[in-house]
Amino acid sequence: MTPARNQRVLLASRPEGLPRPDNFRIVEEPCPVPADGQLLLEILYLSLDPYMRGRMDDAKSYAEPVALGAVMEGGTVARVIASRHAQYAVGDIVLSHSGWQRYALSDGLGLRKLDPSVAPPSTALGVLGMPGFTAWAGLLQIGRPRAGETVVVAAASGAVGSAVGQIASIQGARAVGIAGGPDKCAFVRDELGFDAVVDHRAPDFAQQLASACPQGIDVYFENVGGKVWDAVFPLLNDFARVPVCGLIAQYNALPQAAPGVDRLALLMRDVLTKSLNIRGFIQREFAELRPAFLQEAQGWVGDGRLRYREHIVEGLDKAPAAFIDLLQGRNFGKLIVKLTQ
């Protein structure tokens, strides 16, 4: 039976700097009813990801912004609860991109059926989903670590960073993580098995990072930017590779030049003299490799070489606050909102 009401989180206004709760509006609306060729999805899990901050701005970027008054965008795991589509039956569990809402219509385009006997469905939003794929593709296609090399990654307890370090270890490289606070650092070292970890909040962070990388850095997987990049940059070896995946420390910065000395000339000098390869990417550029990723990553998760941690928040109404927390490093693991009991 189709539920009577839908709950949705809309973009109410565009944030200046860090988003605030009033940039979002939670509304109740009649639940949509599927027409011929459509199905109705009940969202079970909603993924919260740093890229959503960019969608809240109307600045030019690699993807269109969310329109004011529109439902916030996001990856979801959902159950089919009504189907007028030949390829989907009631009860199917699917990966969809239905956004911040409890129910959504779909015409089946872009859906992927999930088999809960292979892996918990929520992993399709994390270690076996977009973040895991980002780590795998960015590290192996751009970073190309070799056995014995030093790979450094920040936000190392998070969805992308945790996978980067573990995949680097699987390749025989030495994995060094950077994380915020003692609990995250202990998790990265003791649970994920990184060779070393450094707390970016430590007053002597740059010296600690240098000590943790006595042979310099061959691959730096950039998730953060800001002062972490400042500490990494002098340690890069000749021919170092830098997949630039994210710059979360800068996402809430207002669009103006940062104060301080302009070090662009210094950067360009090292790019030249150290033959650095600094290469940005958006994961979808490697879309044709997703089946290969899934096969390899499912094997690693199955044999325990690729571990993951989920940070589950219950209730769609908690999504705005959880997202604001994510942008300040208050999540611990892949941030997911669980919508049903």
Ligand X SMILES: NC(=O)c1ccc[n+]([C@@H]2O[C@H](COP(=O)([O-])OP(=O)(O)OC[C@H]3O[C@@H](n4cnc5c(N)ncnc54)[C@H](OP(=O)(O)O)[C@@H]3O)[C@@H](O)[C@H]2O)c1
CB closer to ligand X out of 202 and 267: 202
Cα 42 from chain centroid? 23
DSSP structure string for 84-121: -STT--TT-EEEE---SBSEEEE-STT-EE--TTTS-G
131 binds ligand X (CB under 6 A): yes
Q: How far is the CB of 281 from ligand X (least distance, A)?
A: 6
From the list 134, 150, 166, 237, which residue makes contact with ligand X (rule: CB under 6 A)? 134
Q: How far is the CB of 135 from ligand X (least distance, A)?
A: 8
Q: Residue 290 in 3-state DSSP?
A: helix
309 binds ligand X (CB under 6 A): no
Q: For residue 172, with 0-12 CB atoms within 10 Å meaning exposed, 13-18 middle and 19 or more buried, which class applies?
A: exposed
98 binds ligand X (CB under 6 A): no
245 binds ligand X (CB under 6 A): yes
Q: Residue 38 in 3-state DSSP?
A: coil
Query: The tokens of 72 are what?
Result: 């916030």
- State the DSSP H helix or E strand holding residue 82, giving kind and residue range, or none if neither: strand 76-83
Contacts to ligand X from residues 37-56, by CB under 6 A: 49-51
CB closer to ligand X out of 103 and 300: 300
From the list 31, 44, 71, 160, which residue makes contact with ligand X (rule: CB under 6 A)? 160
From the list 18, 89, 186, 282, which residue makes contact with ligand X (rule: CB under 6 A)? 282
- Number of residues written out for the chain: 341
- The CA-atom distances, in angstroms, between 158 and each of 39, 58, 162, 300, 307 are 33, 27, 6, 18, 11
Q: How far is the CB of 319 from ligand X (least distance, A)?
A: 15
Let me know the angle formed at the C-alpha of 121 by 28 and 247, rounded to the nearest 5 degrees: 80
DSSP state of 287: G
DSSP lists the bridge partners of residue 78 as 43, 94
Contacts to ligand X from residues 161-220, by CB under 6 A: 161, 179-180, 184, 200
Contact 41, 67 (CB under 8 A): no
Convert residues 211-230 into a mask of x (bound to ligand X by CB under 6 A) and - (unbound): ------------xx-x-x--
246 binds ligand X (CB under 6 A): yes
From the list 159, 197, 209, 319, which residue makes contact with ligand X (rule: CB under 6 A)? 159
Which residues in this chain contact ligand X in the complex, by CB under 6 A? 49-51, 131, 134, 155, 157-161, 179-180, 184, 200, 223-224, 226, 228, 245-246, 248-249, 281-283, 326-329, 331, 334-335
